[in-house]
Amino acid sequence: MASDSTATLDKASSTELQSILWFDPTRILIDGQWRAAASGQVLPVENPSTGGIMGQIARGGAADIDAAVAAARRAFEGPWGRTTATERGRILMKMAELVLQRAEALAMIEALDVGKPLHQSLNDAKALARYLEFYAGAADKLMGTTIPYQHGFTVYTLREPHGVAGIIIPWNYPMQIAGRGVAAALAAGNSCVVKPAEDASVSTLAFAAIAMEAGLPAGVLNVVTGLGTEAGAALSEHPGLNHLSFTGSVATGQRIQAAAGRNVIPVTLELGGKSPHIVFDDCDLDQAMPTLVGACMQNAGQTCSAATRVLVQRGLYDEVKRRMADMYRGLVAGPAADGCDLGPLISARQKNRVSHYIELGKAELSVAAEGSIRADASADGHFVRATLFSEVPPDHRLAQEEIFGPVQVLIPFEDEAEALRIANGTVYGLIAGVWTRDGGRQMRMARQLNVGQVYLNNYGAGGGVELPFGGVGHSGHGREKGFEALNGFTRIKTVTARHG
Ligand code: NAI
Ligand code: MG
């Protein structure tokens, strides 16, 4: 696809986005019908590579959420609730086929709307298809158990869907996060209401259009675009929900959990992190090097599981610093179309947040190296230079707080105990990478790292449809992805039969 798509994206404008879309992005999907928001209002769709406005989405609010939850309830209590697991799997597989057929269009939508380099947005479209395939295959392998009990009894468990699931999606991986939530929720038999992020809603609308084409019955998947404080808050507070999942900031996650608490419903939170990459003296450094930088630069550092802290044992510290600095000097930020190492950040707001951290770091820390911004990149695009800080004290704000931009800190350590202390020394705990050839150390680290995923001699930022994923501490709770997510989207009923 490279040459054609690049040509299209080069002169991306409102007409370019419109020419890719086969649905009207100013409509929301409720009960199988595409309609305007009840308020009649819209929000702009911005291209972060240029700052240009490419179109509009509906500004949905409480009335739309009410209608969407009611439609999801009717679907759940109606035909969808009686659908067999095998049929649900077939519909999800059909959705996967259509996503793959439209992968290039989906990738272009994401490149334009989110600013992801095309190869990354194409990867996201394929990951969306993989989630659908994975949960299509899993749908009819979800079972209860029989439990040995007293003589004269047969006891078994039924694994049942919760009912109506609310899914709130952030802007950094819209397709992947919609995929992992919706595919797992539907495979387990729930219906759902999805609220995409206001900065990146178009690909979720495209996904919903594909779901309709695939024959998903009306009301099973509803999508309401709008602001977090309006549609998002209305969804999270809605008493008609039976489950909530949220991916995003800690502050919003805390509000979501409080809202779920008022309605006494289960909630899955994935709130990002400050994930460490730990490099021991005995590692295969040539193998580690590309990952040390790549695991943060993907999506310009706007990845919940980005490896933002690079902990290096003293013996290798100078060499790692020199080699990472060389790589940083080659990192180029530029428009999503241009195959640069990084695209823009999602918004002016995010650029301000990240720039503030970079300025703070420059005032208080040493800069090991910086990347560049392409000379012809639009001044209104939200670009920042990749920046590497060295000798960073583990308790410095840049080593403690999620920056969500192309910024890494290098932290030296002496031994295994210190590495663990530093690695576990933030409020977060999402994932960790460990590079060492020592098998015993691999096992010790894997057990003692306070995170939801450990990578030994590899690192999986944003990847792994099959791999249960989620955090501890302020990184959240509950697990998405893999078979484990299906446990979260279901509940157990115990049936005790006395038969003598
Ligand atoms: P956010 O948490 O406010 O937004 C994420 C989603 O929540 C969006 O769909 C938004 O519309 C919705 N939302 C916002 N306020 C809401 C509310 N009161 N009730 C219900 N839904 C609401 O994140 P934001 O402000 O866009 O980004 C700020 C920081 O959050 C980033 O710099 C990053 O550190 C972190 N973040 C982490 C993500 C992750 O993957 N874990 C994804 C996005 C942001
Ligand atoms: Mg946008």
Q: How far is the CA of 202 from the centre of ligand 2 (A)?
A: 8
Give the number of whichever ligand sits closest to the CA of residue 349. 1
Q: Atom 30 in ligand 1: which residue has the minimum CA distance?
A: 249
- The whole-number average pLDDT for the span 55-78 is 98
Does residue 226 have its Cβ closer than 6 Å to ligand 1? no
Ligand 1 atom at shortest distance from the alpha carbon of 197? 9
pLDDT beyond 70 at 13: no
DSSP assignment letter at 449: S
pLDDT surpasses 60 at 5: no
The CATH class of 276-465 is: alpha beta
* Centroid of ligand 1 to alpha carbon of 170 (angstroms): 6
Q: Ligand 1 in contact with 254 (CB < 6 A)?
A: no
State both tokens at 103. 């992968």
Beta strands in 272-313, from DSSP E residues, in sequence order: 275-279, 307-313
Residue 170 near ligand 1, beta carbon < 6 Å:
yes
Q: Where are the domains of the chain?
A: 14-271+478-493, 276-465
CA distance readout (Å), 12 to 16, 23, 347:
5, 18, 17
Distance CA 92, CA 405 (A): 34
Pick the catalytic residue: 230, 304, 370, 402?
A: 304
DSSP string, 364-376: HSEEEEE-EE-TT
Question: Would you say the CB of residue 404 lies under 6 angstroms from ligand 1?
Answer: yes
- Is residue 34 over pLDDT 90? yes
258: Cβ contacts below 8 Å, ≥ 6 apart = none
Average pLDDT in the 149-173 region? 98
Confidence of residue 3 (pLDDT cuts 50, 70, 90): very low
pLDDT(337) > 90: no
Sign of CA dihedral 467, 472, 476, 479: positive
The predicted structure's pLDDT at residue 2: 37
- The angle formed by the CA atoms of residues 105, 111 and 114, to the nearest 5 degrees, is 125
What are the tens digits of pLDDT across the range 376-434?
999 999 999 999 999 999 999 999 999 999 999 999 999 999 999 999 999 999 999 99
DSSP 197: -
Same topology for domains 14-271+478-493 and 276-465, yes or no?
Answer: no
Q: 304 catalytic, yes or no?
A: yes
The CA distance from 250 to 271, in Å, is 5
Residue in 101, 142, 141, 145 with CA at minimum distance from that of residue 125: 101
CB-based burial of residue 123 (10 Å sphere; 0-12 exposed, 13-18 middle, 19+ buried)?
buried
Q: Which of 18-22, 92-96, 476-480 has the lowest mean pLDDT?
A: 18-22
Rounded to 5 degrees, what are φ and ψ at 147? -120, 125
Q: Is 343 in contact with 334 (CB distance < 8 Å)?
A: yes
For residue range 179-224, list pLDDT tens digits in order.
Answer: 999 999 999 999 999 999 999 999 999 999 999 999 999 999 999 9
Amino acid identity of 52? G
Exposure of 303 in the CB half-sphere (CA atoms within 13 A)? 27
Confidence of residue 155 (pLDDT cuts 50, 70, 90): very high
- Is the separation of the CB atoms in 155 and 496 below 8 Å? yes
Rounded to a whole number of angstroms, the distance between the first and last alpha carbons of the chain is 68
* Calpha distance 429→472 (Å, rounded): 5
Look at residue 268 in the predicted model and tell me its pLDDT.
98
Q: Which of 308, 300, 68, 90 is nearest to 191 (CA)?
A: 68
Identify which of 228, 217, 134 has the alpha carbon closest to the alpha carbon of residue 480: 134
Report the mean per-residue pLDDT for the chain: 95
Alpha-carbon dihedral sign for residues 22, 28, 32, 38: negative
> What is the DSSP code (8-state) at residue 469?
B
Best mutation site among 252, 350, 382 for ligand 1 pocket (most ligand atoms within 8 Å of CB): 252
pLDDT at position 375 = 93
Ligand nearest to the CA of 270: 1
DSSP E strands, 429-475: 431-435, 453-456
- The model's pTM is 0.96
Buried-state track 433-454, b at ≥16 Cβ within 10 A, e below 16:
bbbbeeeebbeebeeebbbbbb
DSSP codes, 310-366: EEEEHHHHHHHHHHHHHHHHT-EE--GGGT-SB---S-HHHHHHHHHHHHHHHHHSE
- pLDDT value at position 15? 67
The SS3 call for residue 456 is strand
The fold for domain 14-271+478-493 equals Aldehyde Dehydrogenase; Chain A, domain 1 (3.40.605)
Burial of 217 (0-12, 13-18, 19+ CB in 10 A): middle
Decide if 370 is catalytic.
Answer: no
What pLDDT does residue 10 have?
A: 47
Nearest protein Cα to ligand 1, atom 24: 249
Rounded to 10°, the helix 118-138/2-10 angle is 120
| Phi-psi domain of 464 (left: phi exceeds 0; alpha: psi -120 through 50; beta: other) | left
